[in-house]
């Protein structure tokens, strides 16, 4: 099925920062109906790593659909500002995650 526009909501977090971390993502269609979900434990990491990994997992899930436009929602100010080029990516552990998100985003 082809979709004109989808919405992606993502979140990630770590207990202890760093500590055990998990991610989640939900994909909604034009009628706000859930069409896909991601929920998984990702091992040890920081909150910021979990936020990026949640976004990566969500973008990969959306690539399974034939979509023309994607609207993304996340609550990590750091990730949003880095992706919008308002903040530099200074953490060496986040740089490869930033690149993965950037490369995946070229698909939409």
Where are the extended beta strands (E) located within 1-108? Answer: 2-14, 19-28, 34-45, 66-74
Look up the pTM and report it. 0.95
pLDDT in tens, 29-61: 999 999 999 999 999 999 999 999 999 999 999
Which band of pLDDT confidence, cut at 50, 70 and 90, is reported for residue 103? very high
The CA distance from 8 to 13, in Å, is 17
CATH classification of the domain holding 87? 3.30.420.10
Task: Give the strand order in the sheet containing 66-74.
Answer: 34-45, 19-28, 2-14, 66-74
Domain range spanning residue 54? 2-105
Which band of pLDDT confidence, cut at 50, 70 and 90, is reported for residue 1? confident
Which band of pLDDT confidence, cut at 50, 70 and 90, is reported for residue 66? confident
Is residue 62 within a helix (H) or strand (E), and if so which, with residue range?
helix 47-62
pLDDT at position 34? 98
| Count of domains for the chain | 1
Judged by DSSP in three states, 31 sits in coil
pLDDT at position 68? 84
| Size of the chain in residues | 108
């Amino acid at each position: 099925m082809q979709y004109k526009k989808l919405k992606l909501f993502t979140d990630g977090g770590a207990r202890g920062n760093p500590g055990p971390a998990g991610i989640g993502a939900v994909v909604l269609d034009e009628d706000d109906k859930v069409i896909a979900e991601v929920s998984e434990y990702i091992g040890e990491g920081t909150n910021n790593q979990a936020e990026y990994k949640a976004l990566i997992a969500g973008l990969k899930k959306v690539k399974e659909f034939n979509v023309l436009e994607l609207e993304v929602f996340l609550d990590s100010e750091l990730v949003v500002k880095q992706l919008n080029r308002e903040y530099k990516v200074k953490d060496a552990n986040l740089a490869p995650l930033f690149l993965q998100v950037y490369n995946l985003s070229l698909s939409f």
